[in-house]
Structure 1
Amino acid sequence: NTLLEIIQITFYIQDAIQKSSYHVLIVFPRILIETWIQLGLLVINGYCTIW
């Protein structure tokens, strides 16, 4: 009974890890790209105000 519960928990954890890693792969690059775009715009605005 305990062994079965451990196996079920292990499968559940592995499933959660797979789903979360897929989620990270989709979301993380988007966040990075948006951050870079915002940084670029800030730099461009900064240069424009300097000039």
Structure 2
Amino acid sequence: MSLGQALMQNAPFWAVIFAAVALLAIGAVASSLRNARRAEAFLRARPAPADR
């Protein structure tokens, strides 16, 4: 049995793994964008202290 045949025999497993990693990546991007907006709002509400 070749490597390709072995991988294709387990194709559903690899598809599930790929889908799980894709969902995690989408969640990470969405979380980063959400946190960036929240951080911007937080910093706008609290301006930096004036230089001494």
TM-score range, shorter chain: 0.5 to 0.7
Aligned to 2:17: 20
What RMSD over aligned residues (CA atoms) do the two structures have, in Å? 2.3
Once the two structures are TM-superposed, the CA of residue 19 in structure 1 deviates from its matched residue by 2.4
| Higher-helix-fraction structure | 1
The runs of at least 4 aligned residues of structure 1 exceeding 4 Å deviation read 12-16
Once the two structures are TM-superposed, the CA of residue 35 in structure 1 deviates from its matched residue by 1.1
Q: How does 1:1-51 map onto structure 2 within 5 Å?
A: 4=1, 6=2, 7=5, 9-11=6-8, 14-50=11-47
Deviations 1:8-31 (A, max 9, x none): x23256445422321122211111
In structure 2, list runs of 5 or more residues that go unmatched: none
User: Match for 2:34: what amino acid?
Assistant: I
Q: Distance in 2 between matches of 1:50 and 1:12?
A: 59
Aligned residues: 46
In structure 1, list runs of 5 or more residues that go unmatched: none
Q: Distance in 2 between matches of 1:12 and 1:43?
A: 49
